Amino acid sequence: MIPSILPTYNRAPLNFVKGEGSWLIEEDGRRYLDLGAGIAVNCLGHAAPPLVDALAEQAGQLWHTSNLYGIPKQQALADKLVANTFADTVFFTNSGTESCELAVKMARKYFHDKGQPERVDIITFAGSFHGRSSAGIAAAGSEKMTHGFGPLLPGFVHLPFADHDAIAPAITDTTAAILVEPVQGEGGINVLPDVCLKGLRDLCDEHGLLLIFDEVQCGVGRTGKLFAHEWSGIAPDIMMVAKGIGGGFPLGCVLATEDAASGMTAGTHGSTYGGNPLGCAVGCKVMDIVSDRDFLADVGRKAGLFRQKLEGLVASHPEVFEEVRGAGLMLGLKCVVPNTEVVAAGLAEQVLTVGAGDNVVRLLPALNIPDGDILEAISRLDAAASALKGGGDAAV
Ligand SMILES: *Cc1c(COP(=O)(O)O)cnc(C)c1O
6-31 residue pLDDT tens: 999 999 999 999 999 999 999 999 99
> Which pLDDT belongs to residue 389?
83
Cα 348 to chain centroid distance, Å, stands at 27
Q: Is 242 in the pocket of ligand 1 (CB under 6 A)?
A: yes
> Which pLDDT belongs to residue 388?
96
Beta-sheet strand order (sheet of 354-356): 321-327, 330-335, 360-363, 354-356
Tell me the pTM.
Answer: 0.97
Residues, the chain: 396
Same domain membership, residue 267 and residue 188? yes
User: Which ligand 1 atom sits closest to the C-alpha of 128?
Assistant: 13
> Which pLDDT belongs to residue 162?
84
**Residues 159, 279: Cα–Cα separation, whole Å:** 36
Domain interval for residue 136: 50-290
**DSSP at 236:** -
Residue 267 lies in a domain: yes
Same domain membership, residue 78 and residue 225? yes
> Which pLDDT belongs to residue 395?
47
> Which pLDDT belongs to residue 355?
98
Same domain membership, residue 351 and residue 262? no
Which residues, 6+ apart, have CB-to-CB distance to 143 below 8 Å? none
| End position of a domain, from candidates 266, 290, 314 | 290
Instruction: Please report, for the domain that includes residue 275, its CATH number.
Output: 3.40.640.10
Residue 39 lies in a domain: no
How far apart are the CA of 96 and the centre of ligand 1, in A? 4
Helix axes 277-290, 293-316, angle to 10 degrees: 80
**Coil/strand/helix, residue 331:** strand
Distances in Å between the Cα of 36 and the Cα atoms of 19, 22, 72, 241 are: 13, 9, 32, 18
How far apart are the CA of 185 and the centre of ligand 1, in A? 9
Q: Name the amino acid, one letter, at 379.
A: S
> Which pLDDT belongs to residue 145?
97
Same domain membership, residue 263 and residue 193? yes
Residue 2 lies in a domain: no
Domain count along the chain? 2
**Coil/strand/helix, residue 211:** strand
| End position of a domain, from candidates 270, 290, 310 | 290
Same domain membership, residue 238 and residue 110? yes
**Residues 260, 238: Cα–Cα separation, whole Å:** 7
Same domain membership, residue 251 and residue 117? yes
Note the pLDDT tens digit of each residue in 325-336.
999 999 999 999
Residue 44 lies in a domain: no
Same domain membership, residue 217 and residue 92? yes
| Ligand 1 atom 6 nearest Cα | 96
- What parts of the chain have a pLDDT lower than 70? 391-396
Q: Is 96 in the pocket of ligand 1 (CB under 6 A)?
A: yes
How far apart are the CA of 180 and the centre of ligand 1, in A? 12
Same domain membership, residue 298 and residue 229? no
**Coil/strand/helix, residue 92:** strand
Same domain membership, residue 269 and residue 187? yes
Cβ(46)–Cβ(20) below 8 Å: yes
Q: Is 217 in the pocket of ligand 1 (CB under 6 A)?
A: yes
Which residues, 6+ apart, have CB-to-CB distance to 243 below 8 Å? 39, 40, 41, 43, 96, 216, 217, 219, 220, 252
Same domain membership, residue 349 and residue 244? no
Same domain membership, residue 126 and residue 138? yes
